Amino acid sequence: VQAVQHVEVCMFNNGIFKNAVAYELEHENCPLMPGSTLTKTYILRLTEGSPKHWIALEESYTKSSPSLAGTVICAEVNEKDRNPYYAINVSYYVQ
């Protein structure tokens, strides 16, 4: 099981990248048969080491317990303050 962080930086070309940022190894109940279900809670640990691309964090990676950046949806955008050339979109998926 791994969590993948997808980051889109809208200020330069090729500003889209993704990293596996957390993982938990699991071999029990694998493989799942077609039509079967599995309900289990996993505790994903932040991947240590140097990833291929940047990781979006709330604060510094050197902090004792870094937190991954959250996915945030702005409820209201003031059009006069909005810069159409700069945005960072962060999303996650688990596989």
Average pLDDT over residues 76-89: 66
pLDDT of residue 54: 67
Q: Cα(54)–Cα(71) distance, rounded to whole angstroms?
A: 16
- Domain residue spans in the chain? 1-95
Q: Cα(87)–Cα(82) distance, rounded to whole angstroms?
A: 10
The Cβ of residue 35 has, within 10 Å, a number of other Cβ atoms equal to 5
Q: Cα(83)–Cα(53) distance, rounded to whole angstroms?
A: 25
Average pLDDT over residues 33-57: 73
pLDDT of residue 29: 73
Q: Cα(29)–Cα(23) distance, rounded to whole angstroms?
A: 17
